Amino acid sequence: MEPVKVGICGLGTVGSGTFNVLVRNAQDIERRAGRAIVVEQIGARRDSPQVDLTGINVTRDVFEVARNPDIDVVVELIGGYDVARELVLEAIRHGKHVVTANKALIAVHGNEIFRAAAEQGVIVAFEAAVAGGIPVIKSLREGLGANRIQWVAGIINGTGNYILTHMRDEGRAFEDVLAEAQALGYAEADPTFDVEGIDAAHKLTILASIAYGVPLQFERAYTEGISRITFDDVKQAEALGYIIKHLGISKRTDDGIELRVHPALVPKEQLLANVHGVKNAIEVMGDAVGPTLYYGAGAGAEPTASAVVADLLDVARDMATHHDYRTPYLAFSGIVEGDESLPILPMENIVTAYYLRLLAVDRPGVLARVATILAEQGVSIEALIQKEATEGELVPIIITTHRTREANMNEAIRQLEALADIAGPVTRIRIEHLDENV
Amino acid sequence: MEPVKVGICGLGTVGSGTFNVLVRNAQDIERRAGRAIVVEQIGARRDSPQVDLTGINVTRDVFEVARNPDIDVVVELIGGYDVARELVLEAIRHGKHVVTANKALIAVHGNEIFRAAAEQGVIVAFEAAVAGGIPVIKSLREGLGANRIQWVAGIINGTGNYILTHMRDEGRAFEDVLAEAQALGYAEADPTFDVEGIDAAHKLTILASIAYGVPLQFERAYTEGISRITFDDVKQAEALGYIIKHLGISKRTDDGIELRVHPALVPKEQLLANVHGVKNAIEVMGDAVGPTLYYGAGAGAEPTASAVVADLLDVARDMATHHDYRTPYLAFSGIVEGDESLPILPMENIVTAYYLRLLAVDRPGVLARVATILAEQGVSIEALIQKEATEGELVPIIITTHRTREANMNEAIRQLEALADIAGPVTRIRIEHLDENV
């Protein structure tokens, strides 16, 4: 099948990330889409140091991309309202499908853009416009399609959440953390869109429309920022059992729809209260499913690219009319049973950390014997706690280890259980830090 | 457009829930799918007290549904391996699309079923097979399609998580909480599938195939249950900064794929450690997007029905060849601009709880004046804390309120700020409990 030919407009953070993900994961993406997705042209005012453009057709005029007859899909990543709107409408007029990450554009001009796309029979996809890499539009629009949605509440601006997180953790003032966020590149030189809630209101407007089936009405959103939150408020809230978060909330009531962005006290035990730093999360309440929550990176080059490319996959599948090109059952086409290039590993080969609980007879040298057995198996001890002796003079020993191979741990436990000093079986529970080294 | 005609096989918890959701939300579902989805026939050994079957064609022979020429989609909700496998294959042979919530069936017989479906050109959808109402299959298969998935880790058995949660919260033994869960209907009379990790291994097998593009290989999953976890382990883990959870973990390594279900110590600050009771959550690490997490109800009548009906929506859209029947941009068709039947509410009309911080002059009667103003506006005080006087004899007063109308709170704040006793503006932050009354 013919590859899908993509034109990327804008080569900033997200444009560079999108190009790099398409190139790096090209093989997997082709298996998922049932056809290749290739970058045919890039329109950008300047090149990007993050991207190797060797062999790529680059133009300085983004409208050239919108009119290029060889291009199937235009990816709009220039941002802003006016030029972006013109570009998207021009691409639609030329029969191109459009993928955009532009929340301001969709929130303000979406109704017009969708009408134009429907007239031309093309697709406009905008997963990346809300909460970066979190597939929340797909989840809300398709995955929760059975439900009457009752409310949506989310942390949908990473900059604001970064500031509130650091105010709380470090007892600092708003202005102080904002300056730091600007220095680190998490906040713009003009932070108004982020800290005054306009960016969040754009995203909430889109979520509300998808939740309830109403037109986009950004102009009716209530927007209140976090610039007046003091550390004293953060402390008082904490004492009352709350954490202050900047939320976008939309709720269906008998009278209509609430659509509001403002700081809020959230009970500490709620998952949303535990979303920290630049991360985003959206909680959705449906009448059938109850509460569900979607968490992840709400911004950044590759997280946003993840959503842009997911939209390209949807467009690629939708362009194909054959059933063979719908989403493969197991996500990838060409899965061969018995192919051992990516085998399921036997448990002996996994690598993880461990918690061990032993009952030892309280006599000299027992710790040394335990430690020696672990050392001989290459198991590195992180912590060892010897408890008070219980009745019968048995002493519980708690050990946590660094990451090691399961086979070595099995052998160590076998030897530990064979020691005369150790009573009964060794309790072994694996420790999973859920960091990059799961 | 013709309605999609559905035959439901099995009228237990999930079958009843599916029928009820399809009936209750029929209008919204039709707007989302672009066509109606109607129950044409039900095959069940007995009726369900949860369902009003008036006017519904009911048969005691589920295979009659699989062969009914009027039916487009067979929904398999009878569970188990053998009859379910026969039923699904028979439906496929008769050219029906199939939706199933049966994790055991897909994990063990999925490769065979997908082959049969591909030969017949029909769809088999199984979102409800993993984590109930959480759209994790769609998220992983479509929403994260840009990524090379690095690992998947999840709490994917609600019964096990219920037991571990109550052991920890109440200091109780495994057997004790299990007996309670059985009495409450959260655990089966024979709890082996849940507490020994077999059910979780079925689900993990499916997630791993979708994450990495490998065939379903349930027979290679490592499975360890929670029946040997003691309260002492829970306590020790807590002291070390961990919470014990029953996890399904699958990880891509250079040598192959880890596929394992076992109890694990998870650092307390991780979101997964804070998923309690019967809830499920799955964390997915992708190379572009980083970590994302999906949380919600992993079982139950309507949560599972939510996923079954989402699959029916996908099948309905896929059956249509016209682009008009792809997912509507704003999730619903027929959105009319200017239609005020579901208006966006002005902020004055929203109802929420509030945190107020006032600076008061420390003289007699100030609290009474503050309380009177709030009472006159119908604002009910939840807590009122008067702090020590700071310099200048100004006393901070912290107030939290019950839910009230924003307009009333605005008026109360206006009057409070007009009091001679109150210095400067009143700080007002809304409190959002994120419960059913958001």
Q: What pLDDT, in 10s, does the model give residues B356-385?
A: 999 998 888 889 999 999 999 999 999 998
The residue type of B4 is: V
Check CB contact under 8 Å for A274 and B274.
Answer: yes
CB pairs under 8 A between A and B: 445
- As a whole number, the mean pLDDT across chain B is 91
Residues of B in contact with A6 (CB under 8 A): none
Q: What share of chain B in percent tops pLDDT 70? A: 95
Instruction: Provide the pLDDT for residue A289.
Output: 97
Instruction: Write out pLDDT tens, residues B178-214.
Output: 999 999 888 888 999 999 999 999 999 999 999 998 8
Check CB contact under 8 Å for A336 and B263.
Answer: no
Check CB contact under 8 Å for B296 and A297.
Answer: no
Residue A137 CA to residue B362 CA, distance in Å, equals 52
- As a whole number, the mean pLDDT across chain A is 91
If one counts every other C-beta atom within 10 angstroms of the C-beta of residue A437, the result is 12
Instruction: Provide the pLDDT for residue A309.
Output: 98
Residues of A in contact with B315 (CB under 8 A): none
Optimal mutation site among A20, A114, A142, interface B, most CBs of chain B within 10 A = A142
Query: Hey, what domains does chain B have and what are their CATH numbers?
Result: 4-132+302-325 (3.40.50.720), 136-297 (3.30.360.10), 347-431 (3.30.70.260)
What number is the average pLDDT over the span A283-310? 96
ipTM confidence: 0.91
What number is the average pLDDT over the span B236-253? 91
Q: How far is CA B197 from CA A406, B179, B207, B225, in A?
A: 19, 18, 15, 5
Residues of A in contact with B288 (CB under 8 A): 17, 21, 25, 133, 302-303, 305-306, 309
A358, A420 Cβ separation under 8 angstroms? no
Q: CB contact, 8 Å: B140 with chain A?
A: yes
Question: Chain A closest CA to B70's CA: distance in Å?
Answer: 22
Residues of B in contact with A211 (CB under 8 A): 331
Instruction: Write out pLDDT tens, residues B48-104.
Output: 888 999 999 999 999 999 999 999 999 999 999 999 999 999 999 999 999 999 999
H/E run at residue A371: helix A366-376
User: Of B124, B229, B256, which is closest to A345 when you measure between CB atoms?
Assistant: B256
Instruction: Provide the pLDDT for residue B170.
Output: 95
Contacts of residue A196, Cβ cutoff 8 Å, sequence gap at least 6 = A223, A224, A225, A227
Nearest to B255 by CA among A347, A430, A338: A347
What number is the average pLDDT over the span B229-253? 91
Question: Chain B closest CA to A401's CA: distance in Å?
Answer: 12
| DSSP secondary structure string for all residues of A51-113 | ---TT-EEES-HHHHHH-TT-SEEEE-S-SSHHHHHHHHHHHHTT-EEEE--HHHHHHHHHHH
Instruction: Provide the pLDDT for residue B232.
Output: 87
Q: CB contact, 8 Å: A34 with chain B?
A: no
Q: Looking at residue B256, what DSSP letter applies?
A: -
Q: What are phi and psi of A193, to 5 degrees?
A: -55, -40
Instruction: Write out pLDDT tens, residues A15-31.
Output: 999 999 999 999 999 98
Residues of B in contact with A434 (CB under 8 A): 153, 266-267, 270, 272, 283, 291
Residue B241 CA to residue A24 CA, distance in Å, equals 38
Please give the residue of chain B at the shortest CA–CA distance from A344: B257
User: Of B305, B343, B438, which is closest to A249 when you measure between CB atoms?
Assistant: B438
Residue B40 CA to residue B87 CA, distance in Å, equals 17
Instruction: Provide the pLDDT for residue B323.
Output: 47
* Residues of A assigned a catalytic role: 203
| DSSP secondary structure string for all residues of B113-156 | HHHHHHHHT--EE-GGGSSTTS-HHHIIIIITTTS-EEEEEEE-
Optimal mutation site among B344, B351, B388, B430, interface A, most CBs of chain A within 10 A = B344
User: Of B210, B216, B329, which is closest to A124 when you measure between CB atoms?
Assistant: B329
B378 assigned binding-site residue: no
B159 assigned binding-site residue: no
Q: CB contact, 8 Å: B292 with chain A?
A: yes
Residue B398 CA to residue A114 CA, distance in Å, equals 48
b/e sequence A26-47, b meaning 16+ C-beta within 10 Å: eebbbbbbbbbbebbbbbbeee
Instruction: Provide the pLDDT for residue A324.
Output: 47
The residue type of A177 is: V
Q: CB contact, 8 Å: B111 with chain A?
A: yes
What number is the average pLDDT over the span A180-201? 92
User: Of A32, A132, A286, which is closest to B306 when you measure between CB atoms?
Assistant: A286
| pLDDT at residue A405 tops 50 | yes
Question: Chain B closest CA to A233's CA: distance in Å?
Answer: 8
B14 assigned binding-site residue: yes
Residue B166 CA to residue B176 CA, distance in Å, equals 10
Contacts of residue A375, Cβ cutoff 8 Å, sequence gap at least 6 = none
Residues of B in contact with A121 (CB under 8 A): 323
Q: CB contact, 8 Å: B289 with chain A?
A: yes
Q: How confident is the model at residue B403 (pLDDT cuts 50, 70, 90)?
A: very high
Q: Estimate to the nearest angstrom the gap between the alpha carbon of A155 and the chain centroid.
A: 12
Nearest to A135 by CA among A328, A289, A290, A284: A284
In A366-395, the residues whose Cβ lies within 8 Å of chain B are 383
Nearest to A330 by CA among B135, B143, B213, B219: B213
In B147-206, the residues whose Cβ lies within 8 Å of chain A are 147-148, 150-151, 153
B10 assigned binding-site residue: yes
Q: Estimate to the nearest angstrom the gap between the alpha carbon of B96 and the chain centroid.
A: 28
Residue with tokens 């093309």: A122
Q: Which of A202-211, A372-381, B318-327 has the lowest mean pLDDT?
A: B318-327
A11 assigned binding-site residue: yes
Residue A409 CA to residue A416 CA, distance in Å, equals 10
What number is the average pLDDT over the span A393-408? 91
In A308-367, the residues whose Cβ lies within 8 Å of chain B are 308-310, 312-314, 318, 321, 323, 326-327, 329-332, 335-339, 342-347, 349-351, 355, 357
Residue B43 CA to residue B36 CA, distance in Å, equals 21
A108 assigned binding-site residue: no
Instruction: Write out pLDDT tens, residues A129-172.
Output: 999 999 999 999 999 999 999 999 999 999 999 999 999 999 99
